[in-house]
Amino acid sequence: MTVNGLGIATPMHFDPIVRYRSYWAAHFYSALECLRYHNLLQYPGRKLAKMGVEDWSLAQLRGSAPTEFFSNIYQYMSNWGFQYLLVSLMNSRPALPVVQTLIGELERLWSITFNKEYSNYQFHVSGQDSDLSRGLELLFAEIFPDRDGEKCRNIPHVIRNSDICLILENPDTSGKVGVFGEVEGLKGESITWDSFWNRKSDYCVFAVGANQEIGSLVDYEVRYKNGLYRILITFQGGHFVVQDFQSTLFWIEHLFRNGPLTRDQIKDEEFGYFYNILK
């Protein structure tokens, strides 16, 4: 099969802001989701749960972890937290053009037509490193694409070894299919490397990465990696979504470092609203 446009980066419009309040809610929500559900974090990970505190408070977390714990997990929060943020933002209405492009490329690459039948969708966090992936296998019946004409027989394996799952639903039949991908929140350039894909699932057909470049673009390209066409979406590090998530993490670190009684001058009113909710 030959594919036009292989390896050519195409800009995408990604502006997930309808209201600033909901936009910032997504950032804070995603950061806290990562803290709560990402079980590979050094703190809290599953440490508090093992102590019998499943539903811990921020005060309990701060009290039980080393003083600089958030500094120690900052890079991991940047990386894995972007996975949670992406799921939230991709489920927002303004992200629809990105979703349509993704689905359109899947259709083109596999010469199928999803969108006449599968007209509803939702993104979910996947991966064995996230407790949010529990029960994900109950939300769809099969995985896209078939390989060599056969359906995937080991759905749990694919869930464990992917970061994000797009579930497409046929509203008439309630039939659902899972489409899996990878997310790299720090070293987004790695999604273009052969070595990256050598370790990934054969059912991961897309990846989203945030790199460290100065620019503020989002683009996508199709590359043939390890026997499969993969759709690669890249956020440059200067994109406001990436920058705003970094700001969110910066201030959460500040809060853990100084405690809830700290007085801060937050210039953005909507940002400050959620910052103060944490106190």
How far is 98 from 231, CA to CA, in rounded Å?
Answer: 12
Chain centroid to CA 240:
16
Q: Smallest distance, Å, CB 274 to other proteins?
A: 6
Residue choice 163, 169, 221, 244 for contact with other proteins (CB under 8 A):
169
What the block records as the tokens of 273 is: 């609203």
Residues of span 86-145 touching other proteins by CB under 8 A? 87-89, 91-93, 96, 99-100, 103, 115, 119-125, 131-135, 139
**Nearest alpha-carbon partner for 105 in 183, 205, 178, 209:** 205
Cβ nearer to other proteins, comparing 29 with 224 = 29
How far is 75 from 58, CA to CA, in rounded Å?
Answer: 19
Provide the residue count of the chain. Answer: 279
Stretch touching other proteins by CB under 8 A, among 3-11, 84-92, 154-162, 245-253: 84-92
Cβ nearer to other proteins, comparing 168 with 222 = 168
What residues contact residue 261 under an 8 Å CB cut-off, 6+ apart?
279
Q: Smallest distance, Å, CB 223 to other proteins?
A: 25
Chain centroid to CA 21:
20
Cβ nearer to other proteins, comparing 182 with 223 = 182
Residue choice 14, 28, 197, 275 for contact with other proteins (CB under 8 A):
28
User: Phi and psi at residue 178, in whole multiples of 5°?
Assistant: -100, 135
Stretch touching other proteins by CB under 8 A, among 54-62, 73-81, 181-189, 239-247: 54-62
Taking CA atoms, 153 is separated from 112, 147, 158, 229, in Å, by 21, 10, 10, 21
Question: Interface residues with other proteins (CB under 8 A)?
Answer: 16, 18-19, 21-23, 25-26, 28-29, 32-33, 35-37, 55-59, 61, 84, 87-89, 91-93, 96, 99-100, 103, 115, 119-125, 131-135, 139, 167, 169, 171, 260, 274, 277-279
